[in-house]
Amino acid sequence: MRKFLIMLGCSLLVLASCSNQKQEDIVQPEENEGETEVSIIPHYSLSEDQYRMVLPYRPSAARGAITNQVTNRVDIDELEEGLRRHSTTVFDPKKYVFEEGQFLDTEEIYSLIDSLNPEIKKKGTKEEQIKEHRNNPRVFSHVLEQNFLKKNDDNTVKLVGVSIGISLKSVYRFQTETGGPYYYEKIPKDEMIAEGQRVAEQVLATLQEKDGLEKVPIMFALFREEEQSSPVPGNFVMKTVVGEGDTSIGKWENINEEYVLFPSDRAKDKYNEDYQKVKTFSEKIAGYFPNYVGVAGKGLYIDKNLTQLSIEVPIEFYGKGEVLGFTQYAFGLVKEIFPNYYDIQIEITSSSGSESLIYRKAGEDEPKVHIYH
């Protein structure tokens, strides 16, 4: 495993004297260790629940594999960001720094996917092949690795934890011939979970064969993808932690979270109070701006409580003054309609791109505004 030496100081690019406030930890190789590399760890993170990251940023050893395996862009984003969010409950972002996975490379991930999914026999009639696929769905689509490092008292850093996201399909899409029609098979949640747990055991065995990972704690989380055309992502459904020195997975913990589209029948039926607030927001805008066409939003619910709400407001503008007036009006509606116990973000867009942004963190009274120039 690579070894680093951390030295506190100012950036080498700064010619002026150092300030009294630490800005970054400079990671430099020990003498006579040619394999180590110079890096820095920024002293500050953007917020208390976000990790600092080692710079220069080292991409994942499996860079690009996720886009070939997970077909929905919103699923890719949530798999990456959601795994980091769940990792904060195991690997404290105040103590540890983040780095993309460096142990599982692209070739190894593809090998795991091929070996742990059923082999599909390609012989027989079309009907026989359809039956073969439906009896042996390839549910396991990707494995995402994230690493966590800790700075030691002797000015070195070491790997102290790994998070693994196992991405699994809710709908299996397949063809019986190249260029032919696609067929779809829905995967029941309990079957998907059983498959994910089986895959996790095999991935654990693979990881613990690697130098440096024999006794490192590993968090596993199972992610249920949404169907390919869904405007909202899927969600994590279970997680577990394999402790230092453990060689098998013990008890899994349920994760009760979901993303909900606004407006939608699901939002209306299951979260009607929030649905009505978004509807009121939309109707009030429509009453003053005739070239407004409606809103599109998504909410993240954890244990049935709304924790994040993001809304896009597409509208055509004919000048920056109109953008400013519209943003001011929307700002007032956010304060009037939406409570402050969840994060909220309102992005105002036009055919030219983003025009302005209104956002407020949970617990804050006053929203913040940014006008794009």
d(CA 46, CA 283): 35
d(CA 240, CA 179): 41
- Residue (of 123, 170, 127, 149) closest to 40 by Cα position: 149
The answer to whether residues 337 and 281 touch, using CB atoms and an 8 Å cutoff, is yes
The reported pLDDT for the residue numbered 41 is 75
The reported pLDDT for the residue numbered 287 is 84
Instruction: Tell me if the pTM is above 0.85.
Output: yes
d(CA 245, CA 257): 30
The reported pLDDT for the residue numbered 320 is 83
d(CA 27, CA 11): 11
- pLDDT surpassing 70 at residue 26: no
pLDDT tens digits, 103-119: 999 999 999 999 999 99
Q: What does pLDDT average to over the chain?
A: 87
**Residue 36 or 255, more confident:** 255
Residue 259, C-beta contacts closer than 8 angstroms, at least 6 positions apart: 78, 232, 233, 234, 235, 298, 299, 300, 301
Q: How many other β-carbons are positioned within 10 Å of the β-carbon of residue 263?
A: 15
Q: What is the DSSP string of 332-351?
A: HHHHHHS-SSSEEEEEEEET
Q: What 3-state class would DSSP assign to 315?
A: strand
- pLDDT surpassing 60 at residue 88: yes
Q: What 3-state class would DSSP assign to 4?
A: strand
pLDDT tens digits, 188-246: 999 999 999 999 999 999 999 999 898 999 999 999 999 999 999 999 999 999 999 89
Lowest mean per-residue pLDDT among 38-52, 131-145, 266-280, 283-297: 38-52
- Residue (of 330, 367, 335) closest to 348 by Cα position: 330
Lowest mean per-residue pLDDT among 10-19, 119-128, 321-330: 10-19
d(CA 336, CA 351): 28
